[in-house]
Structure 1
Amino acid sequence: MQRRTFLTGTLLGTALAAVPPHTSSSAGAAPAAAPVGSLADLQKAIDRAVPGDQIVLADGTYTVPSGGAIRVSGKHGTGDAPITVVAQSRGGVVLRGERGFVFSDASNITVRDFAFRQSTTLEIPASCTRIRLTRNDFGFTDAGAGFDWVVVRGDDVKIDRNRFHDKKTEGIFLVVDGPGPTAMAQRLNVFKNHFADHSFAGANGGEPIRLGVSGRALSSADAVVEYNLFERCDGDPEAISVKSSDNTIRYNTVRNSRGGIVLRHGNHSTVEGNYLIDGANGVRVYGNDHLVVNNYLGNLSDRALVIGSGTTRDHHPGETTEERRGNDACDRAVIVHNTLYGNAGTLSGESRDYEPQKVVIADNLLVGDTGSLVAMGRTTGFTWQSNILWGAASDGNVPSGGYRRIDPLLRKEPDGVHRLAAGSPAIGAATLGTPSVADDIDGHPRGSSRDIGADEYATAAPLRRPLTAADVGPNAS
């Protein structure tokens, strides 16, 4: 359906003389000749919108009255023709007040280019599907008690190319829950966002992203969190906290942050191709049947990779609330093709009652100069295979036969990552046959003769590197 652009007030019939920088117009959309100029007219335009309509709000600062909201209710675009509500220019509309957008019974709605400065949560409820928040700036007020900024309960939501920044109190930038007490929102995609400067000093409750909660641990979400940048995210030891099942966390960069990637609850998730650099915590793994592959953990001041023990063997239906909050021992994880370089704690375990079992640790590269490279607690049925250890740090309690101590001949490249140099003994030395690992952290194909560690030796430039602010956020490609 052809897009319409709504006109109102004194702006009616006044064409823009030139397209401003970061204009909201896009290929295939009608030119934003004259946007609506008030919140009342914006609401009227939303109320009469049909699939394909693009509603543009004129640049300026708007304060939503107390008890009011911009309501998107009973409105349904289509996959090919969403209803789009957009600022005249990127970041040119600043929304203040208690509430901004309130969604109910809506689908295929896109909200783009706004600067949000509200003091209550923006929620996508379970009655809404295929809502997209893109190229927005989230800097909600932090006055008073902390609160979660964006909460997703609906299915097939996209959160992309936004900036979340500057939170000092308890609360989470992005929470994913679901309908009822145990279900999860389905198929969320979070990509190319910039999460920065969460400085809450408490021990818990300040994550940038939380996928689920303990009561939802056994529910599949099928969420994909990819190509996001986390910087100075110090509000919690967990930058990405996974408390549900069947999720994929890939190609993200966590830099200069207290938080790491933690599979805290749930099963069957994948942590792939992430860079965790110059921060504190790395990756911690609890639950069953996870895959941790192709990650680079470098110069972390705390524990780089933790294979967790549990207060229970497996979470299960019928647990008490307190039992569900406990840690589920890590069973049957596959930890393969990771590079751990220069961390204070390299690969370690814990000492709860239930030890991790049947974990495969293969084709990893562990390099460090302090402490022990491996400091596992009690384990059962582990497979250690074709790992390389190097540096002044001691080997620790890695079983003999599961590693070689040999210089892997790493070279530090301009992006700060240590990759294999020509002649490295890691080249072609990987031996784990399954699961299949098609490419490396840089996006280079591994081929039939795979290298140990996250990097597959190549002379070509990496296709993926650690992300910078230019790669993510509202102006990202």
Structure 2
Amino acid sequence: MRRRTFLKGSLMGSAAALAVPVVGAAQGAAAAAGTVSVGSIAALQSAIDAAVPGDRIVLANGSYTVPSSGVRIAGKEGTSAAPITIVSASRGGAVLNGPVGFVLSASANITISGFAFRQTSTFAIPADCSRIRLTRNDFKLADRDGLDWVTVRGDDAKIDRNHFHHRGTQGIFLVVDGPGTTAMAQRTHIFRNHFADHSYTGANGGEAIRLGVSHRALSTADAVVEYNLFERCDGDPEAISVKSSGNTIRYNTLRDSKGGIVLRHGNATTVSGNHVLGGANGVRLYGNDHLVVNNHISGTTSRGIVIGSGTTRDHHDGETTEERRGNDACDRAVIAHNTLVGNSATISGESRTYGPRDVVVADNVLVASSGSLVALGSATGFTWQGNILWGSAANGTIPSAGFRRVDPLLRKDADGVHRLTAGSPAVDAATLTSLALAEDADGHARGTARDVGADEYSTLAPVRRPLTTTDVGPNAS
């Protein structure tokens, strides 16, 4: 939710110290054609300076102090088939301390893998770089107020199988911005990462991922955030904070986290196949033309799905900075085939000046034991159809034509997911035939006659389940 980020760590002048020596490490020995093994920061820098496409540079395990000028990767280009790879000898074995780690500029097709980063300033992928991959790294940077740990501004970055963990101050694990003041980095792919233990207690500013910022909201990013695990991400109500347009948030698992998935600014983002298990917040959306489907949200202590209202109808080019920072109402969203069970509030609205309008809420399973299943304020032109409501919670502000009150015959499986059982009235009962939806949350085919909710009844084992620590992070397959 934090609107601006100010880095308090900066690159200082060059320092004389290059490394903490690594006993027994090979110093610059060529291990094989295209592979160079090094055991000091000086040797690492020399190998990078000489690298050509396909080279693999291996830094020996050990603890290194990087000088303030950083390890420079400048004007280096691999190819998509033969990237330049810089890797720790074993995952987490090479620990980089100091004010900065790698400093990238004007480079492409570079892979950085297996390091433990402990630097005191942001790891940045600048706008003049492209196709940079950060994979299987451990990020536990300085726990300094206002320090965002990784920032992406270049196109086609891949951030995968990393572990971001343990901070207690204001600041974000991973930020995706872009060049200039309004553009977004294009096609960022964030997958199989483990985000854990953000314990900042302020009102906001401790997101796990922030995808854009208010002044970039109308720019399409085409980012994909998938198969990530969020645990105890309590630094902000928004664990995944989307402030740009045209993104896909799918197949993620949020466990026991204050933060939820929030489309705070921007339009036309898809939120699909995510599991929110416990914690506080589910999915909250503002802006236009979003698709929210196949999500399973259970046991949250705040709100399952929030259809947001706005201080403005729509954000637009030419509005003031202050106007852009405000909320724009949720219009023309489709919220369908979700299963919400046992949340403190199930589907809720808000009370700002501009209410949501022209939203479709269809074929969802809503179950709770207290409160109201639907609690919307001002809302115009909504379409309610095919929903199944159950439990001792009141129906709330949903028209009678938009639901059936019938037991969906759910079973809570060992993985925490509520799935349909044989004979459920949800089977083959979906009504929103205009929606193209090939699979359910488990990865099973939907077929022609679809079931209500996130689960399509099947006797087959799920293809996708809620993620655990073995599915993500440096050691994931």
TM-score by length of 2: 0.93
Q: Using the alignment, how far apart are the partners of 1:189 and 1:358 within structure 2?
A: 31
Matched, 1:270 2:285: no
Give the AA of the match of 1:225. Answer: V
- State the match for 2:26 in structure 1: 11
Displacement of 1:417 in angstroms is: 1.0
- 1:137 to 2:138 alignment: yes
Partners in 1 of 2:94 and 2:349 — Cα distance? Answer: 49
State the 1:12 CA deviation: 5.7
Match of 1:45 in 2: 47
Distance 2:29 2:232 in 1: 44
Q: Which residue of 2 aligns with 1:5?
A: none
Work out the CA distance in 2 between the residues paired with 1:10 and 1:464: 42
In the alignment, the residues of structure 2 paired with residue 364 and residue 45 of structure 1 have an alpha-carbon distance, to the nearest angstrom, of 56
1:164 aligns with 164
Tell me the residue number matched to 1:345.
345
Specify the alignment match of 2:313 in structure 1: 313
Amino acid of the structure 1 residue aligned with 2:132:
I
How many angstroms apart in 2 are the aligned matches of 1:185 and 1:435?
A: 30
**Deviation per residue, 1:245-282 (Å, 9 max, x gap):** 00000000000000000000000100000000111000
Matched AA of 2:84: I
Matched with 1:24 is: none
Aligned partners of 2:25 and 2:60 also within 8 Å: no
C-alpha distance in 2, partners of 1:75/1:434? 49
The equivalent residue for 2:56 is 54
* Alignment check: 8 A CA contact 2:297 2:340 kept: yes
Supply the distance in 2 between the matched residues of 1:126 and 1:456 (Cα, whole angstroms). Answer: 43
Aligned to 1:429: 429
Q: Which residue of 2 aligns with 1:462?
A: 462
Q: What secondary structure is seen at the aligned counterpart in 2 of 1:145?
A: coil
Identify unmatched segments of 5+ residues in structure 1. Answer: 1-8, 17-28
The equivalent residue for 2:180 is 180
Deviations 1:109-150 (Å, cap 9, x if unpaired)? 0000000001100000000000000000001121x4330000
| CA 312–93 in structure 1, closer or farther in 2 if over 3 Å, else same | same
Indicate the residue corresponding to 1:332 in structure 2.
332
Alignment match, 1:190: 190
Match of 2:73 in 1: 72
> What does the per-residue CA deviation read over 1:220-262, in whole Å, with 9 as the maximum and x for residues that have no partner?
0000000000000000000000000000000000000000000
Aligned to 1:42, what secondary structure does the other structure show? helix
CA distance in 2, matches of 1:379, 1:281: 22
CA distance in 2, matches of 1:39, 1:119: 17
Match of 2:449 in 1: 449
What is the identity percentage for the equivalent residue pairs of Structure 1 and Structure 2? 70
Name the aligned partner's letter for residue 49 of structure 1: A
Compute the displacement of 1:400 (Å): 1.1
Q: Which residue does 1:97 correspond to in 2?
A: 98
> In 2 relative to 1, CA 155–15 (structure 1 residues): closer, same or farther, beyond 3 Å?
closer
The equivalences for 1:378-393 within 5 A come to 378-393=378-393
Mapped to 1, the partners of 2:336 and 2:49 lie a distance apart of 52
Residue 370 of structure 1: how far off its partner (Å): 1.1
Task: Provide the residue aligned with 2:288 in structure 1.
Answer: 288
Distance, in Å, in 2 between the alignment partners of 1:468 and 1:296 is 16
4+ residue stretches of structure 1 with deviation over 6 A?
13-16
> Which residue number in structure 2 is paired with residue 122 of structure 1?
123
Following superposition, the deviation at residue 412 of structure 1 comes to 1.2
CA change 1:373–1:82 in 2 (3 A) is: same
1:11 partner SS = coil
**Residue 394 (1) aligns with residue 362 (2):** no
Q: Which residue number in structure 2 is paired with residue 406 of structure 1? A: 406
**Whole-angstrom distance in 1 between the partners of 2:398 and 2:123:** 48
Please give the per-residue CA displacement for 1:36-80, whole angstroms capped at 9, x wherever unaligned: 010001000000100000001010000112x22000000000000
For 1:45 and 1:331, the matched residues in 2 are separated by: 54
Q: CA deviation at 1:31?
A: 9.0
Instruction: Supply the AA of the counterpart residue of 2:60.
Output: A
Ranges in structure 2 where 5+ consecutive residues have no aligned partner:
1-23
TM-score (norm 1): 0.93
CA drift at 1:30 = 5.8
User: Which residue does the alignment assign to 2:38?
Assistant: 36
Aligned-pair CA distance for 1:14: 7.3
User: SS at 2:118's partner residue?
Assistant: strand
- CA pair 258-35 structure 1, distance change in 2 beyond 3 A: same
Distance 1:15 1:246 in 2: 45
What letter matches 1:130 in structure 2?
R
Amino acid at match of 1:52: G
Partner of 1:21: none
> Which residue of the partner structure matches residue 22 of structure 1?
none
